[in-house]
Chain A
Amino acid sequence: MSPAPDMNPVIDAVPNRTLPMPLLAGTGAAILIGIGAFGFAAGTGQWEWAWGAVLVGLVFSLGLSMGGVIFAVILSLSKAHWGRPVKRVAEAFGAYLPVGWVLLLAFLLLGNGLYPWNPETFIAGGAVDLEPHSDFSIRTKPIWLSLPFFIGRQLGGTLLLFGLAHAFIYTSLRPDLIRASARLGDKAPGWWSMITGSSTDWQAEMAKSEKRQQAIGILVAVCYSLIFSMLAFDLIMSLSPWWYTNMFGAWFFVSSVWISLAMLTIYVLIAKEWLGISSFITRSVTHDLGKLLLAFCMFWAYTTFAQILPIWYGQMPEETDFFLVRMFELTDTIPAGDAPWYVLTQIVGVMCFLLPFTALLSRGIKKMKWPLISVCTIILIGIFLERSLLVYGSVHLEKSFPIINLIVIGGGVTIGFVGLFLLAVSAALAAVPALNVADPKMAPHPWDAHIHSLDAPGAH
Chain B
Amino acid sequence: MEAIRPPSFPAANRDIIRVLFKPSALYLASLGLSISLVGVLGMALLIQTWWGMGMAGQNNASFWGTYIVTFVFWVGIGHAGTLISAILFLVRSKWRTGVYRASEAMTVFAVMTAGLFPVLHLGRLWQVYWFFPYPNQRYLWVNFKSPLMWDVFAISTYLTVSTVFFFIGLIPDFAIVRDHNKGLIAKIYNLAAFGWRGTNRQWHHYMAAYGFFAAFAAPLVLSVHSVVSWDFAMAVTAGWHSTIFPPYFVAGAIFSGCAMVITLLLPMSYLFGWKDYVNEWHYDALAKMCLLTSAILTYAYAMEYFIGWYSQNPHEWEIFRWRAVGEYAWAFWLMVFCNCVAPLPWYIPKLRTNPWVLWTIAGLINVGMWMERFNIVVSSTAHSFDPAMWRMYAPTLLEVCILLGSAGWFFMWFLLFAKTMPAVAITEIKEQIEPPLKGSLEAK
Taking Cβ atoms with an 8 Å cutoff, the residues of A that contact B are 136-137, 140-141, 144, 218, 222, 225-226, 229, 233, 244-250, 298, 302-303, 306-307, 309-311, 313-316, 318, 447-448, 451
Q: Is the CB of B243 within 8 A of A137?
A: no
Q: Is the CB of B310 within 8 A of A144?
A: yes
Q: Is the CB of A310 within 8 A of B94?
A: no
Extra 6 A-B pairs, beta carbons < 8 Å, given A233-B306, A246-B244, A310-B234: A246-B303, A247-B247, A250-B299, A302-B222, A306-B245, A314-B236
Contact A448 to B303, CB < 8 A, known contacts A246-B244, A310-B233, A310-B234: no
Answer whether residue B241 sits at the interface, using C-beta atoms and an 8 A cutoff.
yes
Contact A303 to B247, CB < 8 A, known contacts A310-B242, A447-B92: yes
Please indicate the chain B residues that have their CB under 8 angstroms from the CB of A233 in the complex: 306, 310
Q: Is the CB of B303 within 8 A of A314?
A: no
Chain B residue, CB-CB nearest to A308: B243
Please indicate the chain A residues that have their CB under 8 angstroms from the CB of B234 in the complex: 309-310, 313-314
Please indicate the chain B residues that have their CB under 8 angstroms from the CB of A313 in the complex: 234
Answer whether residue B230 sits at the interface, using C-beta atoms and an 8 A cutoff.
yes
Nearest CB on A from B216, distance (A)? 14
Contact A316 to B236, CB < 8 A, known contacts A229-B303, A306-B243: yes
Q: Which 9 A-B pairs have the closest CB atoms?
A: A246-B307, A247-B243, A306-B246, A140-B312, A310-B233, A247-B244, A246-B244, A246-B303, A245-B243
Answer whether residue B190 sits at the interface, using C-beta atoms and an 8 A cutoff.
no
Q: Is the CB of B299 within 8 A of A225?
A: yes
Nearest CB on B from A256, distance (A)? 16
Partner of A306, one of B236, B247, B299, B312: B247
Q: Is the CB of B230 within 8 A of A309?
A: yes
Q: Is the CB of A250 within 8 A of B312?
A: no
Per-residue A-contact encoding for B225-249, CB less than 8 Å = 1, 0 else? 0100010011110000111111100
Taking Cβ atoms with an 8 Å cutoff, the residues of B that contact A are 92, 94, 219, 222, 226, 230, 233-236, 241-247, 295, 299-300, 302-304, 306-307, 310-313, 347
Please indicate the chain B residues that have their CB under 8 angstroms from the CB of A309 in the complex: 230, 234
Please indicate the chain B residues that have their CB under 8 angstroms from the CB of A315 in the complex: 236
Please indicate the chain A residues that have their CB under 8 angstroms from the CB of B247 in the complex: 247, 250, 302-303, 306
A229 to B310, CA, bound (A): 13
Partner of A222, one of B245, B295, B300, B312: B295
Q: Is the CB of A137 within 8 A of B312?
A: yes
Q: Is the CB of A244 within 8 A of B244?
A: no
Contact A246 to B236, CB < 8 A, known contacts A137-B312, A141-B310, A144-B310: no
Please indicate the chain A residues that have their CB under 8 angstroms from the CB of B243 in the complex: 245-248, 306-307, 310-311
Nearest CB on B from A308, distance (A)? 8
Please indicate the chain A residues that have their CB under 8 angstroms from the CB of B244 in the complex: 246-247, 250
Q: Is the CB of B310 within 8 A of A244?
A: yes
Q: Is the CB of A244 within 8 A of B236?
A: no
Nearest CB on B from A265, distance (A)? 18
A321 to B47, CA, bound (A): 50
Q: Is the CB of A246 within 8 A of B222?
A: no
Please indicate the chain A residues that have their CB under 8 angstroms from the CB of B306 in the complex: 233, 246
A303 to B304, CA, bound (A): 16
Nearest CB on A from B278, distance (A)? 19
Please indicate the chain B residues that have their CB under 8 angstroms from the CB of A229 in the complex: 299, 303
A160 to B6, CA, bound (A): 48
A309 to B242, CA, bound (A): 10
Q: Is the CB of A245 within 8 A of B307?
A: yes
Please indicate the chain B residues that have their CB under 8 angstroms from the CB of A250 in the complex: 244, 247, 299, 303
Chain A residue, CB-CB nearest to B431: A447
A241 to B411, CA, bound (A): 51
A225 to B313, CA, bound (A): 25
Q: Is the CB of A306 within 8 A of B226?
A: yes
Nearest CB on A from B234, distance (A)? 5
A218 to B310, CA, bound (A): 28
Please indicate the chain B residues that have their CB under 8 angstroms from the CB of A303 in the complex: 246-247
Chain A residue, CB-CB nearest to B241: A314
Please indicate the chain A residues that have their CB under 8 angstroms from the CB of B246 in the complex: 302-303, 306
A266 to B246, CA, bound (A): 32
Please indicate the chain B residues that have their CB under 8 angstroms from the CB of A222 in the complex: 295
A141 to B311, CA, bound (A): 9
16 contacts between A and B (CB under 8 A): A144-B310, A246-B306, A247-B243, A247-B244, A247-B247, A249-B303, A250-B299, A250-B303, A302-B222, A303-B247, A306-B245, A310-B233, A310-B242, A315-B236, A316-B241, A447-B94
Q: Is the CB of A246 within 8 A of B242?
A: yes
A302 to B251, CA, bound (A): 14
A247 to B46, CA, bound (A): 43
Please indicate the chain A residues that have their CB under 8 angstroms from the CB of B230 in the complex: 309-310
A318 to B244, CA, bound (A): 17
A184 to B191, CA, bound (A): 67
Chain B residue, CB-CB nearest to A310: B233
Please indicate the chain B residues that have their CB under 8 angstroms from the CB of A140 in the complex: 312
Chain B residue, CB-CB nearest to A311: B243
A96 to B234, CA, bound (A): 41
Please indicate the chain B residues that have their CB under 8 angstroms from the CB of A144 in the complex: 310
Q: Is the CB of B312 within 8 A of A136?
A: yes
Nearest CB on A from B289, distance (A)? 11
A245 to B243, CA, bound (A): 6
A303 to B222, CA, bound (A): 11
Please indicate the chain B residues that have their CB under 8 angstroms from the CB of A307 in the complex: 243
Partner of A244, one of B92, B219, B233, B307: B307
A310 to B231, CA, bound (A): 10
